[in-house]
Structure formats: C-alpha cells, structure tokens
Amino acid sequence: MIDTVAVAGYRSLRSLVLDFGRLTVVTGGNGTGKSGLYRSLRLLAECALGGAVGALAREGGLTSTLWAGPEQGTRHRDGPAQPTVRNAPAALRLGFASNDDLGYAVDLGLPQEGGSAFAHDPEIKTEQIFSGPLARPGAVLAERRGPAVRVRDSSGDWDQVATLRTFDSMLSEVVDPTGAPEIVAMRERLRGWRFYDHLRTDADAPARQAQVGTRTMALAHDGADLAAALATARELGRGEEIDQAVALAFPGATVRVQVDGGRFVVQLSRPGLLRELSAAELSDGTLRYLLWVAALLSPRPPELLVLNEPETSLHPDLLPALAELMRRAAQDSQLVVVTHSELLAEALGSDGVTRHELELDAGETVVAGREGPLDQPAWHWPKR
C-alpha cells in the first residue's frame, strides 16, 4: 500500500505531501489542484512505461507545468506576485512511499546545455528506490544520478548497472531481475496502477457500439470494451456483485451481454419495458454507471486504482450506489477518488476513509485545516 505521496513544482502543487489510506477521497473547489494531483500520479506511473517525458511535453513542457508563482518566501495573497530571481534549478519532483514496502522518487529538470533541437525537453535528473517511509541515505536501494544507475548489492556496496539517456527512466530501461530486482519490482508495480479520467458516454462513445470481444481483465480508458469486461468479470465469478450493483442503482433492472457473431453488446432490461435496451439506447448517466461497475468490479483488481471526477453526469440519486461500489473495490485495491462532489464524499462516509480537502492559498494548492509545514507528513527529496 502507498502511505505517502509527494509532488513539488507541478502546476499549482508547489509542494504537497499527502497521506493515503486504503480509500482516499480528495475534494476541493474548482481550480484547487485536484486534477493536478491526479495527473501527477499518472506521470509517476508513466515513468515505468517510459512515457513521462513525452507526457510532460504534451502538457506544454516543463516550463508550462512548473509552479508559476514565486520560488519561495512570502506568499502574495493580494495582487500579483513580484517576480523574484530563481535560485534553485527548475524541478518537477514526484514520489511515493510505503511504510513497509518500496518507495520511488523522481526529479525532472531542464537540460544544462543547449545545442539540441529538444533543448526544452525535460530531463530525468535523479531517481531513487528506497525502502520504508523516507528516502534516507541508508534506505536507498537503487539510484540514478544523471546517466548512471547503481544498485546496492547484498553486502551493501554499490554496483553500477546501467548508463541511461536523459529522457529514459531507470524503471523502463533496467530489466535485469537478478542484478536490479528492486527496479524490476518497482516497474511491475507501477505498471499495474490503473487510472480512469474520462470514460466516454457521448452519442459516438465506443461503449455504445457492438465490439469484437476478448477476455478483458481491465476496462479500457475510454470504456470501449465495456461488454467484454462485464462478460469476463461474470465468467470469472463476479456476476452476483454485478447484479447487486445494477439492482442497487436501478431497482428491478438486470444487465446482460449479448454475443452476436463475435461482437459483444451490453443489454439492460428495466421494469416496465417490453424489450431490452442496448448500450446505444442508454442515457449518459446509465451508461456511465455501467462503466463504473465494469471498472470497479474488475476480475483482476489493481494494486492502486485512481479515479478523477467519477461523479460526472451521474444524478445525485446514483451516488450512494456508486459509493457502495467504491467501498467494495477498496477491499481489493487501494482506491483514490478525486471528486468535486460533496455528496459522493459524504456517501463514502468516514469509516476507513482518508479525506483531504484541497484549497488554493496565494495560487498554491494546500490541504485545508493544516496549520503549518509540521502538519504535513514527513518527506525527503533526493538531492541532485
């Protein structure tokens, strides 16, 4: 389980450390940094897939995503901030720690010298894999500084195991399970994290059309394989939970997957209707709820599941049923729900829920109710 997440220098998240629980709910008004937190978790996972530098470039590069306020010192609550001279190098830092497992931290910056057509591409400056809650020097098991990757061996000595290009993460490049087991383990762990941001329900949404189906352990990001995902979950023993979740949201309704010439389509029967409705005929909210059923009752639950604004286009009446599904999912996965729906947060309750409310203070994302830096969980960034 992830116990702490830390982000620095990413959009409004100038310096944020959050404790995570089994089920973590992050709320806050518009523009307080919720999506920023969601995206920073995605960026962390992208490091394991070799896509972090590309993902950042698509967001406008490091100069756009970097905290746009003054570097340090007094906050400017009234009027624009006074520009200050930047002393520290530009840095986007992301990390997480687990109290009794491995943690990972990465520091991205700008190239030292120009001369390349990609001089604005971010570079990976340092990466560390450490054990326990803090990246103290003695807890570091694998480390990348500039191009050099080294791993601590069983006698505590450092072995250099690879030399990397600036835009490659050690997680995606180092593949030796005997020489660098921690790196391989961390990659596999991050690759398993699952994110849902924008499940499509518009008129042309792929989930509305019959699709060729194969066994599907995780619903796709756009929800295209909804029917195959529901059929797989049913075949692998989650049929009763699917039925319960549907009945809780739509009393008397049942969902079934029809297979026609290898193409899968979702059919919903509702009381009062003479025939079933296919996915193409469902309302946005009904389809979205079914997408959440498939995402949250996956037959192979991930270690970490992160949802951004899952309440979108759902009527408040459906939120208690969605909350029930989420609590069910949190038994098998660590679940993070980023939402601006107070109703959803309330429906999730407080029992076993870690809740954080974000707010903006002089343009910077802070956690409501924290008096000062000492209220923040401990965190240690690796030095460059």
Ligand X SMILES: Nc1ncnc2c1ncn2[C@@H]1O[C@H](COP(=O)(O)OP(=O)(O)OP(=O)(O)O)[C@@H](O)[C@H]1O
83 binding ligand X? (CB under 6 A): no
122 binding ligand X? (CB under 6 A): no
Residue 75, Cβ density class (10 Å: 0-12 exposed, 13-18 middle, ≥19 buried): middle
Please give the distance of CA 296 from its chain centroid, rounded to a whole number.
Answer: 14
Please give the distance of CA 327 from its chain centroid, rounded to a whole number.
Answer: 18
Task: Provide the terminal-to-terminal Cα distance of the chain, rounded to the nearest Å.
Answer: 27
* Least CB distance to Mg ion at residue 82 (A): 29
30 binding ligand X? (CB under 6 A): yes
Sequence letter at residue 241: E
Chosen residue from 17, 52, 67, 246 binding ligand X by CB under 6 A: 67
244 binding Mg ion? (CB under 5 A): no
Q: Per-residue x/- marks for Mg ion, 29-58, CB under 5 A?
A: -----xx-----------------------
> Which range touches ligand X (CB under 6 A), out of 59-67, 211-219, 243-251, 314-322?
59-67
Give yes or no for a contact between 303 and 332, defined as CB atoms under 8 angstroms apart: no
194 binding ligand X? (CB under 6 A): no
Give yes or no for a contact between 162 and 174, defined as CB atoms under 8 angstroms apart: yes
Chosen residue from 66, 231, 279, 337 binding ligand X by CB under 6 A: 66
70 binding ligand X? (CB under 6 A): no
34 binding ligand X? (CB under 6 A): yes
Give yes or no for a contact between 252 and 271, defined as CB atoms under 8 angstroms apart: yes
68 binding ligand X? (CB under 6 A): yes
Closer of 131 and 308 to Mg ion (Cβ): 308
> Which structure tokens are listed for 363?
């343009």
Pairing of strands 211-212, 364-367: unpaired
All residues at 6 or more sequence positions from 42 whose CB lies less than 8 Å from its CB, including other chains: 55, 195, 306
Positions that interact with Mg ion (CB under 5 A) = 34-35
Positions that interact with ligand X (CB under 6 A) = 11-12, 28, 30-36, 65-69, 340, 363
